Amino acid sequence: MSTEKFNFENLQVYQRSVKFSNDIYNITKSWPKEYLFDLTSQIRRAVLSVPLNIAEGYGRTTKEYRRFLDISRASCFELIPLIEISEKQNLISKELKNQLLKEATELSKMLSGLKRALK
């Protein structure tokens, strides 16, 4: 099996977004089934959107890639209320909420920086 990577895989923002997605999946595994089709599903789809749009946009024109980065960044914003509601539903602690919000914010800033670098 080849160990070659696509260039986007070397991006720190991509690597961190994949790790963040994995973290969210691990956190939500133990959530009650009553949340499966709304909160669990929505937070997973939002977090997955971040690395998926980085990857998909990479193969496009620069203009299109910038648009895909905007979509990734919007998914970071979508995570904010989902994380806050998760804490209010006692699914995560306040400390974990703060950690997750910090990571979503950092990813958003990194995506903005990458978009600026694509001029």
Neighbours of 8 (CB within 10 A): 18
Task: Please tell me the predicted confidence (pLDDT) of residue 3.
Answer: 63
Torsion on CA atoms 103, 105, 111, 115, rounded to nearest 10: -170
- Tally the domains of the chain: 1
> For residue 25, is it within any domain?
yes
Q: What confidence tens digit (pLDDT) does each residue in 37-62 have? A: 999 999 999 999 999 999 999 989 99
Evaluate whether residue 112 is within a structural domain: yes
In a domain? residue 71? yes
Report if residue 33 sits inside a domain: yes
Task: Give me the DSSP letters along the chain.
Answer: ------GGGG-HHHHHHHHHHHHHHHHHTTS-GGGIIIIIHHHHHHHHHHHHHHHHHHTS-HHHHHHHHHHHHHHHHHHHHHHHHHHHTTSS-HHHHHHHHHHHHHHHHHHHHHHHHT-
Q: What is the CATH number of the domain that holds 60?
A: 1.20.1440.60
Asked if the structure places residue 2 within a domain, the reply is no
Full domain range(s) for residue 15: 7-117
Flag whether pLDDT at 32 surpasses 50. yes
Domain annotation covers residue 75:
yes
Q: Is residue 70 part of a domain?
A: yes
